[in-house]
Structure formats: structure tokens, C-alpha cells
Structure 1
Amino acid sequence: MLPKNSAITLDAGTLCLQATDALEYYDPPSLFTPLDFGLVGFSFACGLGVKVAKPKKTVVSLMGDGGFGMTISELRLLLNRN
């Protein structure tokens, strides 16, 4: 189970629609979605931003292969920030 103060970021797509039904959210703002705009690739970059802003917070980013493929270059920023 995720800690109650976790941040969850979702990408556009079926996975995220299912996740909104399956996951529980406690501390607002704890759920970050692009569902109003349908942005593929949002989740990883958003999760990275949340982690940089709140380093002690548990962050979970859910996305499909397309979204991850679009944002995989952000891993370099993560490695540089360590």
C-alpha cells in the first residue's frame, strides 16, 4: 500500500481511467492528471516535478509505453539531480 501522503501522477489513456477508480487519494493535492486535456507524456514529467519540489514525498507515476517513450529523456535530469 502507498503511504497516505503519496502523490500519484497519471497519463492520458485507459490505464489512468482505471487507476482513478482503484486508488485512494488522501491529502490534496495528491492526484495529478491531464485528463481534461488528454496529454500523453504528462505523468513522468509531473512526477519528477513533484519529487523535486517535495523530495521526501512518495511519488508514483502511471503511464503507458507511449507516454514513457515521449518523456524518457527526462531521466537525464533525474540522474543529474541525484
Structure 2
Amino acid sequence: MEDVTYMTTDELAARIKYDPRTIRERLKDTVLLEGRHYIRPFGGRKILFIWEAVRDDMAAVATTPSFAIPMASGGYCHG
């Protein structure tokens, strides 16, 4: 089994230098998606973020040129 690092909102906020409130109110369910970036263990209210998914998606966005147009196939059109 692959090692997965679960984090609370406060732990994620400290790692990515965002306010926990911003994560809860602006990023969750828009850029951070349930099932990919976070889970609700045992069907409860508590949220645990999956660090590896958040890290990988942040790195992917950072390396994508801002003028690239996302394509349905997952690639990018560069002009």
C-alpha cells in the first residue's frame, strides 16, 4: 500500500501558507475536491486532506504556462 499523508485543515494551512478559513471557504469544493484532495473519514464532518494529491496538483499548475488552454483530453494548447 502506498503511503498517504492525511492532514487537518490547520496542518495543510501551515504547509501551504494559507489561512485555514480560506481553505475551508474558498478552496474546498472549488480547487480542492472531495475524493481527490480530501476525504471525510467514516462519513463524518471531519475533513482530512491528502497531502500528496494537493502537492502534485499545486506543482502541475505551477509548471503550466498561464497562456495555455486546457483541452478535453487533458493536454494543453499553447497558442
Using the size of structure 2 for normalisation, the TM-score is 0.31
Kindly name which structure, 1 or 2, has the bigger radius of gyration based on alpha carbons. 2
Q: Which has the higher contact order (CA 8 A, sep 6+)?
A: 1
Using the size of structure 1 for normalisation, the TM-score is 0.30
